[in-house]
Amino acid sequence: MKNRGRIVAFVMMLIAIVFLAPAVLMVFTAFKAPDEVLNPSSAIPHHWTVENFARTLKYSEEAPFAQWLLNSLLISTSVTFLVLFVSSMCAFAIARLKIKNGSRILIVIVASMMIPGQLFLIPVYLMLGWFHWLDTPLALIVPATAGGFGVFMLTQFMRAIPPSLEEAALIDGCSLWGVYSQICLPLCTPALATLGIFTFIGSWNDFLGPLVFMDSVRNYTLPVGIALYQSSYYTEYGKTLATSVLGTAPLVIVYAIFQKRIISSMATTGLKD
Amino acid sequence: MKSLRTQTRLANLFVIPYGMSFVVFIICPIVFAAVLAFTQLDLTSRQHVHFVGFDNFREALKDPYFVQATQVTCLYSVLIVPAFVILSFGLALGLQGMAFGRNTVRGMLFLPGMFNVVVASIIWRWFYDGEFGFFNYLLKREGLTPIHWLGEKTLALPSIVVMSLWWGLGGATIILLAALEQVPIHLYEAAMIDGATSRKLLTKITIPQMRPVLLFIVVTSTIGAFQVFGQTFMMTNGGPDRSTTGLVQLIYDTAFNKYRLGYAASISWLLFFMISVIIIAQALLLRRSID
């Protein structure tokens, strides 16, 4: 029995290495010189060079990489904080203040999560046009706050908090805003952190939204910038892969820091019925 | 909670920010999308915007592009969903059986899921490249003829399926592993005392106990498969010969390359109905198999 566990462990490790191989090959190849990229003799570069990265990062009108990176950071950070703020306030009203019809409101919000995103694409595109928000970061920030997942998740979490602390604070003359910001939010830190990480990743990886709503090159987010620009140097794989490495690095850092939290909250998604 | 409830009026203020966003960006777009589906709205033509009843839907059902995109979407789902469910379940069982190193391997399996669809597609398009690709490098080294993985009508879609499996399996595996760990251990102990084989344990205990989670994986992966877009847009742009143009790609092309917004809206409703029918069918099938 024990031997079997060891054999399984080795087989699974081999599989995991196969899973990681594409990413590792991408990183190695990004450090190769152009002729070595096309005629690989080994996976590991003979001569390590940062030429591909230097060419990617050099400012150019048609591929302002640093600008795209800034856009993505600005948009994903704003979306994350707005979603946390707006969803936690709504969840606070439903779960803690027990507003009238709170659970009915929650059902409508959860039902809206079932609708596939493409249905919203065309009407939201036209509406953003009327607001004159197309091709501005607002087009990607504001509509993202309407997602129901945050309200749903935070309501579930807040319902489990005992009310005694909040009641005591109210008796001591604390305002509702004070109860929300000084007591409820600190108690919700774990849930807020999880929601924040997933919102950031989701916003960073969003592709269809920025592809449709953004028009000028300098307003692209990183994924759309990489996608549309790489089509013009299709087979310059060294450069394409260097761009991809740089574009993925921020998320891999997020993953490295929060891996435990990300995996444990992924694990529970299937269990809530 | 009485003291909190007395402040109802103030309490409602907390709903306003999210509520406004919800009304403007969820409710309004749904109503608007419903109106659009019955409207002729072509940004390129000088025709007035006007109501056309069910014409858009009638056109779609006769449109060979729509029929083909539906076939491509269904074929993609049929190819990916069973493989996805079986492989993620197998990986979860493997993880559970590991004597050591489980958390490390779990983290490694999930890493591809963090990659952007653009980056994941770039890596795999490079792998599949007809001239410089990694797979063809291996084939050539063995003296075999290189294959145009993404350029052949029959190979392009399966190639995208393989890439999507690599990209998505980790998440489902984590969910299934967590569920495996919830199966009560005494069930296994009792069966083992009765002399059950490990195959019996799998088919009579593990799979029945896991049924709700397996259904969750089936449903979510089907929904995801029906909405495939990023991979096909990046790797083949719907080609060769439209053989990888799914419904979302068709909606995108119709709306933002041909600027036929009304017609595209009606296709998105048709996609929505297809997804709903499939989810309801899957849920009913599950309920029957439980009873």
User: What is the ipTM for the molecules in this complex?
Assistant: 0.86
Domains of chain A in start order, with CATH, are 1-49 (no CATH), 59-269 (1.10.3720.10)
How much is the average pLDDT of B20-30? 95
Chain B neighbors of A26, CB-CB under 8 A: 123, 126
* Backbone phi and psi for residue B260, each to the nearest 5 degrees, phi listed first: -95, 80
How much is the average pLDDT of A203-226? 91
Chain B neighbors of A240, CB-CB under 8 A: 122, 126
How much is the average pLDDT of A255-270? 81
Residues B238-269: tens digit of each pLDDT: 878 899 999 999 999 999 998 899 999 999 99
> Is residue B3's pLDDT more than 60?
no
Among B217, B259, B206, B251, smallest CA distance to B233 is for: B251
Q: What is chain A's mean pLDDT, rounded?
A: 87
Say if the Cβ atoms of B30 and A251 lie within 8 Å. no
Q: What is chain B's mean pLDDT, rounded?
A: 88
Among A34, A29, A157, A180, smallest CA distance to A93 is for: A180
Chain A neighbors of B134, CB-CB under 8 A: 25, 40
Among B113, B274, B291, B202, smallest CA distance to A269 is for: B113
Look at residue B1 in the predicted model and tell me its pLDDT: 45
Q: B7 falls in which pLDDT band (50, 70, 90)?
A: low
Residues B163-202: tens digit of each pLDDT: 999 999 998 999 999 889 888 888 888 888 888 888 888 8
Name the percent of chain B lying above pLDDT 70: 95
**DSSP labels, A204-259:** HH--HHHHHH--SGGG--HHHHHHHHHGGGTT-HHHHHHHHHHHHHHHHHHHHHHH
What is the C-alpha end-to-end distance of chain B, expressed in Å? 41
Contact A208, B229 (CB under 8 A): yes
> Is residue A1's pLDDT more than 80?
no
State the maximum Cα–Cα separation within chain B, in Å, rounded to a whole number: 81
Chain B neighbors of A124, CB-CB under 8 A: 25, 29
From the options 3.40.50.720, 3.30.70.360, 1.10.3720.10, 1.20.1250.20, give the CATH code of B64-290.
1.10.3720.10
State the nearest Cα–Cα gap between B187 and chain A, in angstroms.
19
Say if the Cβ atoms of A90 and B123 lie within 8 Å. no
Say if the Cβ atoms of A97 and B14 lie within 8 Å. yes
Identity of the residue in A125, A227, A267 whose CB atom sits nearest the CB atom of B178: A267
State the nearest Cα–Cα gap between B207 and chain A, in angstroms.
15
Chains A, B: CB pairs < 8 Å = 277
Whose tokens are 């499939």? That residue is B278
State the nearest Cα–Cα gap between B8 and chain A, in angstroms.
6
Optimal mutation site among A118, A126, A171, interface B, most CBs of chain B within 10 A? A118
Count other Cβ atoms within 10 Å, centred on residue A241.
26
Contacts of residue A46, defined as CB under 8 A and 6 or more positions apart, other chains included, come to A32, A36
Q: Where are the domains of chain B?
A: 64-290
Residues A74-118: tens digit of each pLDDT: 999 999 999 999 999 999 999 988 888 888 999 999 888 888 888
Find the helix packing angle between A237-269 and A189-205, rounded to 10°: 150
Identity of the residue in B118, B127, B178 whose CB atom sits nearest the CB atom of A227: B118
CA-to-CA distance for B52 and B33, rounded, in angstroms?
14
State the nearest Cα–Cα gap between A81 and chain B, in angstroms.
13
* Backbone phi and psi for residue B241, each to the nearest 5 degrees, phi listed first: 60, 40
Which two three-digit tokens encode residue A4?
């079997």
How much is the average pLDDT of A19-25? 90
Look at residue A11 in the predicted model and tell me its pLDDT: 93
Chain B neighbors of A256, CB-CB under 8 A: none
